[in-house]
Structure 1
Amino acid sequence: MPHDSTAPEPVPLTLSMPAAPRAGLTDGLVRPLSEAPAAPVLDAGASDVQVAEFLVVAAHSVGGFVARTDSGERAVAVVAATVAALCGEDIRRALTHPDLEFLRGLAPAAVEALREVLLAIESETPDGVAKALEVLQTPSPPATGR
């Protein structure tokens, strides 16, 4: 069999930067009050009916919204209700009974969709609100003890 002395054809490769880590459900979500947010503002202290009406519109609008609250419990409720609005679920039920396990298990695409709608939670007490939102973080797997 004769030896082929021609050079092999180059193999095209696509080189790219590694993808940036995706934002988690609550990573960087809470911030201090801003003077003029660049998006509509939801007063999370409004009645459940008013919050639900706002979220029905916000979930299907371009540009997202900013929620304002000093209550960690209400911040969790707004996250749950926003997810419910995006999924076509019962928004008012999500406000009063957030499904924490469901929220912790959201797929990355669902988290991304949430973060495109709920841009931030602004608060005069951002540390307290951020601490309350920790219930939404996926727990780390237990150590194996080796």
Structure 2
Amino acid sequence: MPHDSSPADPVPLTLSMPPRPARGLVDDLVRPISPNPEAEILDLAVSDTEIGVFLVRIAHGDKGFVARTDSGARALAIVAATTAALMGDDIPTALANPDLDFLRGLKPPAVEALREVLLAIETADRAAVETALSVLAA
């Protein structure tokens, strides 16, 4: 039996990076207060009206923001209100009554859009804020 010593035909391969896993709605969202934040700060102790004005301005800009609060309820409200601002929905209603089922049902592109605007929630009470936001974890 003759032995074929010719090289085999090349096998085409596609080399690419595997897709990045989708970031969850609250994955790594909460962090300690930074002395040098990388973005504009929104103190969630301000009035709902001031938050609404801020969100209308920043939601369609090219930079995100960092929210600051020690209140779990206020942290949940800013996630809902930022989502509402991005969608052109009612920000005051989202602040007052976050729709948890709607937020949990956001698709990965919507979550990414939200996380590009709401960069982080900084807090001195990380446990309280993370506990409140845990209702949004998938």
Structures share fold, TM-score greater than 0.5 = yes
* Structure 2 stretches lacking a partner, 5+ long: 1-6
Which runs of 5 or more residues in structure 1 are unaligned? 1-6, 139-146
Letter in 1 for 2:83: V
Aligned residues: 132
SS, match of residue 122 in structure 1: strand
Amino acid at match of 1:78: I
Comparing 80-89 with 125-134, which one deviates more in the overlay? 125-134
Give structure 1 regions of 4+ aligned residues with deviation exceeding 4 angstroms.
7-11
Task: Specify the code of the residue in structure 1 equivalent to 2:132.
Answer: A
Using the aligned pairs only, state the percent identity: 61
1: CA distance, partners of 2:63 / 2:51: 18
Determine whether 1:51 maps to 2:60: no
Structure 1 residue identity aligned to 2:31: R
Q: What letter is aligned with 2:97?
A: H
What do you get for the CA RMSD once the two structures are aligned?
1.5
Counterpart of 2:60? 60
Q: Which residue of 1 aligns with 2:28?
A: 28
Deviation, structure 1 residue 12: 3.7
Map 1:27-106; keep pairs closer than 5 Å.
Answer: 27-106=27-106
Q: How far is the alpha carbon of 1:87 from its aligned partner?
A: 0.2
Q: Which residue of 2 aligns with 1:129?
A: 129
Alignment of 1:105-124 (within 5 A): 105-124=105-124
Distance, in Å, in 2 between the alignment partners of 1:131 and 1:121 is: 13
Q: TM-score, normalised by structure 1?
A: 0.85
Q: Which stretch of the first structure deviates more once superposed, 82-91 or 16-25?
A: 16-25
Cα separation, 2, equivalents of 1:120 and 1:85:
16
